[in-house]
Amino acid sequence: MAMSEFKAYLGARRQLIQEALMQSLPPVDSYPPQIHEAMHYSLFAGGKRLRPILVLAAGEAVNSPPEPLLPAACAVELIHTYSLIHDDLPSMDDDDFRRGKPTCHRVFGEAIALLAGDALLTQAFVCLSRSEAIEPARVIQAINELAQAAGSQGMIGSQVVDLAAEGGPAELDTVEYIHAHKTGSLIRVCLRLGGILSGAAEEQMALLTRYGEAIGLAFQITDDILDIEGDFQKTGKKTGMDTYRGKATYPACVGLEAARRKAGELCQEAAALAHELGPAAKPLFDLANYVFERQE
């Protein structure tokens, strides 16, 4: 698949996901309106939809069509969006912009932003529990793994470590913990959900899981690099904020060149795992290169 062909694939997937996401929330004018406006505002603020694409691509790698996996793909994006809203709150990172637009609390106020985040997290489980085309026991396993990945020993846990590490010297152990859990937990579980809900074999599950771990860490490192040298026009975020806050990041810890090398190695590892999964994992293979080359 040439890069242009892969970009067309991504575009088609995004379209499919966008339509499913519209169905995944109560309509924007549902009562009470403030909360639904805030939920829609943040969910449709222009995300890349990398996580839901990974859910579908993992299913595809083990020969599942995308449609039955859409509720799970949406659930992950709802959780990702809630985590951004809460992360941006004044008591957390106190960010004014996200993807080039004012953050949720800047538009709707802190109380509504807090509740909109809560509601998106809750809605993820409404959504996932509607995976009607899939065997119930698999859906329950998916719910269990998604909740664990998002919880106090996964994504939320790493936010705690991240907060605690802020301002102090960045220790590589801490940075690796944060990365493995913050972006990492949720990206890893995308691959696992695609596999679990498609009934992947044990060996396939192991490859998908390792792919998720490699690509998740690569994604976080490239994120940290973009924070240093990215372009506001492309990233929609102020650059240099991590450094300003004394965040524990990979480049802060090992230097920009070593960070870039590490991201490259991880993407190569992910590509090799996709290759091992076989021809149906071509989109996962291409995604590994895409993550390495991303500029937004």
Instruction: Name the residues that contact a second copy, by CB under 8 A.
Output: 25-26, 30-32, 34-36, 39, 82, 86, 89-92, 109-112, 114-119, 121-123, 125-126, 128-130, 136-137, 139-141, 143-144, 146-148, 150-153, 156-157, 159-161, 163-164
Contacts of 81 (CB under 8 A, 6+ apart): 42, 43, 47, 120
Which residue's CB is nearer to a second copy, number 31 or number 257? 31
The distance of closest approach from Cβ of residue 282 to a second copy in the complex, given in angstroms and rounded to an integer, is 33
| Pick 35 or 277: Cβ nearer a second copy | 35
Question: Nearest distance from residue 29's CB to a second copy, in Å?
Answer: 12
Cα 85 to Cα 120: distance, rounded to the nearest angstrom: 10
Six token digits for residue 74: 């949406």
**Residue-wise over 272-296: b if at least 16 C-beta within 10 A, else e?**
ebbeebeeebbbbbbbbebbbebee
Q: How far apart are CA 272 and CA 57, in angstroms?
A: 16
User: What is the biggest distance separating any 2 CA atoms in the chain, rounded to whole angstroms?
Assistant: 51
By beta-carbon proximity to a second copy, the closer residue of 86 and 294 is 86
Element (H, E) at 97: strand 97-98
The single-letter code of the amino acid at 296 is: E
Residues 127, 71 contacting (CB under 8 angstroms): yes
Looking at beta carbons only, is 90 or 255 nearer to a second copy?
Answer: 90
Q: Which is nearer to a second copy, 40 or 282 (by Cβ)?
A: 40
Minimum CB distance to a second copy, residue 217 (Å): 19
Q: Least distance (Å) from a second copy to the CB of residue 31?
A: 7
State in angstroms the smallest separation of the CB of 40 from a second copy. 11
Smallest separation, CB 251 to a second copy (Å):
23
Please give, one letter per residue, the 3-state secondary structure of 150-183: HCCCCHHHHHHHHHHHCCCCCCHHHHHHHHHHHH
Residues 6+ apart with CB under 8 A from 70: 16, 17, 20, 56
Find out whether 296 and 239 touch, Cβ atoms under 8 Å.
no
What's the min distance (Å) between Cβ of 86 and a second copy?
6
Q: Which is nearer to a second copy, 128 or 190 (CB)?
A: 128
Query: Of 45 and 281, which has the nearer Cβ to a second copy?
Result: 45
- Spatial CB neighbours of 196, under 8 Å, sequence gap ≥ 6: 138, 141, 142, 145, 205
Q: Quote the least distance from Cβ 212 to a second copy, whole Å.
A: 19
The burial of 192, by beta-carbon neighbours within 10 Å (0-12 exposed, 13-18 middle, 19 or more buried), is given as buried
Considering beta carbons, is residue 232 or 244 the nearer one to a second copy? 244
